[in-house]
Amino acid sequence: MAKNKRNINMPRPNIMWLWSAITLVIIGYWIFNNEESAPVKSDWAAVEQMVAAGDVEKIVVVNRDEARVVLKEGKPEEYKERDLRYSRLPKSGHQFYFNIGSVDSFKADLEKAEEQSGNSVVLTFENEKPWYDSWLMGLLPWVIMFGIWFLLMRGMSRGGGPQGGIMNVGKARAQEFDKEDPNKRVTFKDVAGLEEAKVEIMEIVDFLKNAPKYRELGAKIPKGALLVGPPGTGKTLLAKAVAGEANVPFLSISGSDFVEMFVGVGASRVRDLFDQAKKKAPCIVFIDEIDAIGRARGKNAGFSGNDERENTLNQLLTEMDGFQTNAGVIILAATNRADILDKALMRAGRFDRQIEVGLPELNERREIFDVHLRKLKLDKDLDRDFLAKQTPGFSGADIANVCNEAALIAARHNKESVGKEDFLAAVDRIIGGLERKNKVISPQEKKTIAYHEAGHATVSWLLEHANPLVKVTIIPRGKALGAAWYLPEERQITTKEQMLDEMCATLGGRAAEECFIGHISTGAMNALERVTKQAYAMVAYAGMSDKLSNLCYYNNQEYSFNRPYSEKTAETIDTEVHKMIQEQYERAKELLNEHKEGHAELARILIEKEVIFAEDVEKIFGKRPWASRSEEIFDTSDSEKSDSPEAESAVEANEPETTE
């Protein structure tokens, strides 16, 4: 019968015990090393007898309160033999000590004893620190060494993570997504718009969920997908939605987490990241702001070709498509600077897909508003299409900021719900800045500003391709003394006529000053800058001039010092630009002179109310005969919905039956 062996859990030896023992030995050495021979405490009566006997060689007074007696050579052995109390009397140094009251009285007593005995004693005075000071100074280096060792050992014993120890400096600081937490879980329902991007991303998620379906057809899973787009468009949010939908481990890390001051740490963290991903495969790894380590090699590398960032990038390239097998590991990365990424990183086999995440279009902005308005208490009459029209060029983050700012404004005015005015104020606050109602403006300055802004409004209202007017204000906001708010037409292509109309509307303010005020001011500096840049772009890059038609002189930084055209061509460009701007300026003056009564009435209302809207302009000049692009898009989408089979069946179901 086999005997059952008992598993005895013996305590594991710990190096801390060894160091503790060493420390105690050191302390004991410093405390007890002189205990074998120690001076004997005495008093003046006994010392007086020693002086009378001629045994005392010297007395040292320390710190004016303690006298130390040094016997003559050979006398300590005699005292040891004479009395057991003196058995531990030291051979060297002082043998006795006693306290004195006053130095003067002690000197007098000593002189008296010397006179009576006829023996002379050397008397000296010294100052010394307490005994424990030297003991502590001797022990202090050992304490410091032990403390440093303890901190190092403690740091080495820690795990990885943001506060990992020195031995874990090469560990990847990736955070694993907790799909069980409902508060942090993001799904595709929370991502409005981005339909094309979601289709490609969902395909990757579906591959992870239903891999056999793709493998039967011989399809391989993409190695990686790169999300590219301006800031705030929802790249990181899309990655979080992938984590919420995939039901697979999701590791998230920032590109800056690979960069450290220690050489080789970045490459080590890349290796550790992929090791973690392989253990959890199938797995998704998300690298945010990958441009921190993915910049093109050979640019701004300094004097060394062995740059630390390049080493990190090389290791990333090797892990993504090297001899290593990363089966089931998909890399998602996000950046808003795809132009500076290394070409080796962008090739197929590493990032197989480059998904463009651009600014939302009109319908997408409406969907984004629907997402962010869920948590707000809104007015019943709030038109979400109107909000989408008011925010052209806004990203998803900007729209979220508008919704939050509108809620703050409504709460500031003690409203029970968030209304249209709050959203308009929020848009104005974000674009133009805070209102400066307390800014001191003279009546003449106010008139000039009113005529200037009325000029913008009049010309833009009378031109077909100018952006639709929203409102005009002469209340200072930010650095501007007044402003005319428009809804920019989000055109996919722009014609020369459209750009000329926009240029003419931009010059309307300066033209109104010249026509009706009699002088021009610095208020049109921003307008002049905009039309000048626009005209140069039309002539030099878009080929929209008569003399330089069908020519493009490259709009990039490559020719920042050497222009790709001659001095004669430069003179021609300057002439064409000046001609184009002057023609539109004269056109604006003609329109204002033709409608000077309406312009004057508009300026008067503006001075009186300080803020006017498109409805006020419509009362003066009548309704614009041209529909805006946003209205056409909404009309088209509504008609498509009404023409759908579901809508037709719903109409048929609601029609009453007829009898013949």
Q: Rounded to an integer, what distance in angstroms lies between the CA atom of residue 112 and that of residue 102?
A: 15
DSSP state of 381: T
Distance CA 437, CA 334 (A): 43
For the record, the structure tokens of 72 come out as 């003559």
Place of tokens 């004893």: 113
Q: How far is CA 608 from CA 428, 448, 459, 601, 602, in A?
A: 21, 14, 21, 11, 10
Q: Is 335 exposed, middle or buried (0-12, 13-18, 19+ CB in 10 A)?
A: buried
> Are 229 and 357 contacting, i.e. CB atoms less than 8 angstroms apart?
yes
Q: Which two tokens stand for residue 73?
A: 């050579």
Six token digits for residue 309: 């960032």
Torsion angle of alpha carbons 60, 61, 62, 63, nearest 10°? -160
d(CA 590, CA 148): 84
Active site residues per annotation: 453
Q: Contact, 469 vs 457, CB < 8 A?
A: yes
Give the CA diameter of the chain. 160
Q: For tokens 């029609």, what's the residue?
A: 655
Question: Angle between the 362-372 and 396-412 helix axes, to the nearest 10 degrees?
Answer: 50
Q: Taking the mean position of all CA atoms in its chain, how far away is CA 448?
A: 43
Query: For residue 374, with 0-12 CB atoms within 10 Å meaning exposed, 13-18 middle and 19 or more buried, which class applies?
Result: exposed
Structure tokens at 500: 């000329």
C-alpha span between 651 and 639 (Å, rounded)? 14
- For residue 489, the SS3 value is coil
- Cα dihedral 467, 469, 475, 480 in deg (nearest 10): 0
Helix (H, G, I), strand (E, B) or coil at 421: helix
Q: From CA 571, how far away is CA 371, in angstroms rounded?
A: 53
Spell out the residues 6+ positions from residue 228 whose beta carbon is closer than 8 angstroms to its own: 235, 334, 335, 336, 338, 354, 355, 356, 357
Question: What amino acid is encoded at 384 in this protein?
Answer: R
Pick the closest to residue 113 from 103, 123, 121 (CA basis).
Answer: 121
Strand partners, 253: 287
The secondary structure element, H or E, covering residue 140 is: helix 131-157
Burial class from Cβ neighbours inside 10 Å (0-12, 13-18, 19+) for residue 467 reads: buried
d(CA 249, CA 442) in angstroms, rounded, equals 66
Residue of 174, 170, 345, 341 lying closest to 263 (CA atoms): 170
- Count of positions (residues) in the chain: 660
Torsion of Cα atoms, 509 then 511 then 514 then 515, to 10°:
-110
